[in-house]
Amino acid sequence: MVANHPQKKRIITDQEAENISRVEELAYEIKVSEVMTNNLFCFSPDGKMEEVLEVFRQKRISGAPIISKNGELIGIISMEDLIRCLVDTDLQSKIEKYMTKKLTSILPTDPVIEASKKFVSTNFGRLLVVDKNQKLVGMITKGDINRGLLRALETDYQEEEIRIYRASHLFEDIESDRTSLILRYQIHQGDFDKGGQASSNIKRALLRLGASKQIARRCGIAIYEAEMNLIIHTTEGGVLRVEIEPHQISIDAYDYGPGIKDVDQAMKAGYSTATDAVREMGFGAGMGLVNISRCVDHMKLESVWGKGSRLKMRLFLDVENIKKEIAED
Amino acid sequence: MTDLANIINALQLNVLTKQKDFSQIQVENGYTSDLLSCVMAGAPHNSVWVTLQAHQNIIAVAALLDLTAIIITEGATPDQNTIDKANEEGVNLLQTQYNSFFTIGKLWELGIRSGK
């Protein structure tokens, strides 16, 4: 008769998948010296097996190195060896008789992945950690590796939690009469390859800080248009400066030339001074400033021909605005 | 309304970015223009954008607007940088040999509307 077992499905969530790869990463990052036991109890080969039984029981250990009189590492005694001795009821004999003489060692500077590989290839339960000068510095078991990895993962997790907490509580945690966060981006003329990078980064920063999706989107669009204007229309690029406060976001885009001849005309939908090459890429629709004015609560464009321009934009984050947004969505 | 897998299948689109389960991605609206500022102003979010433009800046536009996918028409091919950036930003890049008019006609038949 064939038992009809329900098919067991193993579902790995994104979070778990992330952790798996992180464990693998950590296995390469963490060194043997960070997880090994360095507080070793050593036996002499002339000691009795009785002694081993007593120490293993009291110290709750399952293996120990054997050091000769002249300080040389000559073997290792493990629980398995002790069991063999117990089966023979031979506790009075010397440790020498039961110890394992075949030694597998690893360097303290090796990553733990090397230790894992040795565990798989040798089938040993523990490895001796021996430094470059052949000095015994510790011992490592599979359990040590697991504990080390778990500890590292926990630290990682806590750090991420703290990062998110800090970002979203930034304004509550810092007491001052007026707290603000300023982000600055240098935009280079003609750098189309990086076009949109600053605005994407700012949008992401706002979301991390806990801004609503709508606010982040409006800011993203306004800053994108300002960013592209700096890339397309300036002589030597300019600066994007974003100041984030609990009640508003202020964006300044300024450049050092050439300036706008007729600001009123520049504000008109469809008016553009872009070259044919730029238009071919899909820019120069004459909609940039119009788009900005739709996305922000307040904008002001100042320009002196021959000197440069400054575009100031503001978004208010007060309760009325948020209500309006929800209603619109 | 339909899902992206259905659109890719019906229009025999070439997927340029990473394969994923497109049947889980719902598409309600569409938009078309080759002028980026018009897209910025007009494309509803979660829509597909049909365009002839294939340069890197279309990715920033799609990412900022949370667009579902970009369909690049008339066989225009973005460079590897653009495709890499799209993968990075999670933007789906699709390609067709047909022109924008034909593509939009097909999308309309599938029930995609202009949204606004």
What is the per-residue pLDDT across B29-88, written as a single tens digit (0 to 9) for each?
999 999 998 899 889 888 999 999 999 899 999 998 989 999 999 999 999 999 999 999
Q: Which residues in A lie closer than 8 A to residue B81 (C-beta atoms)? A: 193
Chain B residues close to A193, C-beta within 8 Å: 56, 81
CB A87 within 8 A of CB A81: no
With 60 as the cut, is the pLDDT of residue A3 above it? no
**Using CB atoms and an 8 Å cut-off, which of residues 48-77 of chain B contact chain A?**
51, 53, 55-61, 63-66
- Closest residue to B34, CB basis, from A196, A225, A282: A282
Nearest to A105 by CA among A137, A150, A57, A66: A137
Q: Is the pLDDT of residue A2 over 70?
A: no
Interchain proximity A285–B51, CB inside 8 Å: no
Using a CB-CB cut-off of 8 Å, the residues of chain A touching B57 are: 192, 195-196, 228, 281-283
Task: Give pLDDT tens digits for A166-196.
Answer: 666 777 777 788 888 899 999 999 998 888 8
pLDDT surpassing 70 at residue A309: yes
**Confidence (pLDDT) at A322:** 53
pLDDT > 70 fraction of chain A, expressed in percent and rounded: 87
Note whether A224 contacts B61, CB cutoff 8 Å.
yes
The interface predicted TM-score (ipTM) is 0.73
Q: Which residue of A has its CA nearest to B40?
A: A221
Question: Which of A16, A22, A25 shows the shortest CA–CA distance to A112?
Answer: A25
- Could you give the CA distance from residue B76 to residue B52 in angstroms, rounded to a whole number? 7
What separation in angstroms does the CA of A313 have from each of A241, A304, B36? Answer: 10, 18, 21
Instruction: Name the pTM for this structure.
Output: 0.57
Q: In this structure, what token pair is assigned to residue A63?
A: 């293996």
The Cα–Cα gap between B26 and B5 comes to 9
Confidence category of residue A9, pLDDT binned at 50, 70, 90: very low
Q: CA-CA distance, A64 to A138, in Å (whole number)?
A: 10
B86 in contact with A, Cβ within 8 Å: no
Phi (first) and psi of residue A166, to 5 degrees: -60, -45
Task: Give helix A197-208 / helix A142-173 axis angle, nearest 10°.
Answer: 90
CB pairs under 8 A between A and B: 72
Residues 8-27 of B with CB under 8 A from A: none
Rounded to the nearest 10°, the torsion over CA A75, A78, A83, A84 is -20
Cβ–Cβ of A199/B64 closer than 8 Å? yes
Please tell me which of the candidates A199, A203, A283 has its beta carbon nearest to residue B36: A283
C-beta of residue B62 within 8 angstroms of C-beta of residue B91: yes
Q: Which candidate in A228, A231, A276, A295 is best for mutational testing of the B interface (most B CBs within 10 A)? A: A228
Facing residue for A224 by CB, picked from B40, B45, B51 = B40
| Best B20, B21, B37 residue to mutate vs chain A (most A CBs within 10 Å) | B37
pLDDT value of position A6: 43
Break chain A down into helix, strand, coil percent, rounded to 5. 45, 20, 35
Give the residue from A175, A303, A171, A154 showing the smallest Cα distance to A244: A171
Please check whether residue A259 touches B, CB under 8 A.
no
DSSP-based three-state secondary structure for A33? helix
Q: What is the mean pLDDT of residues B100-113?
A: 95
Q: For position A17, what pLDDT does the model report?
A: 53
Is residue A38 scored above 80 in pLDDT? Answer: yes
C-alpha dist (Å) from residue A121 to A28, A116, A125:
18, 9, 11
Pairwise CB contact (< 8 Å): A200 & B63: yes
Of A281, A286, A287, Cβ closest to residue B55: A281
pLDDT score of A296: 93
**Mean pLDDT, to the nearest integer, of B90-114?**
95
Answer whether B103 touches A (CB < 8 Å): no
Cβ distance of B38 and A287 shorter than 8 Å:
yes
pLDDT, position A7: 43
In three-state form (DSSP H/G/I as H, E/B as E, the rest C), the secondary structure along B9-59 is: HHCCCEECCCCCCHHHCEECEEEECCCHHHHHHHCCCCEEEEECCCCCHHH
For chain B, say whether A226 makes contact (Cβ under 8 Å): no
The alpha-carbon gap from A158 to the nearest alpha carbon of chain B, in Å, equals 26
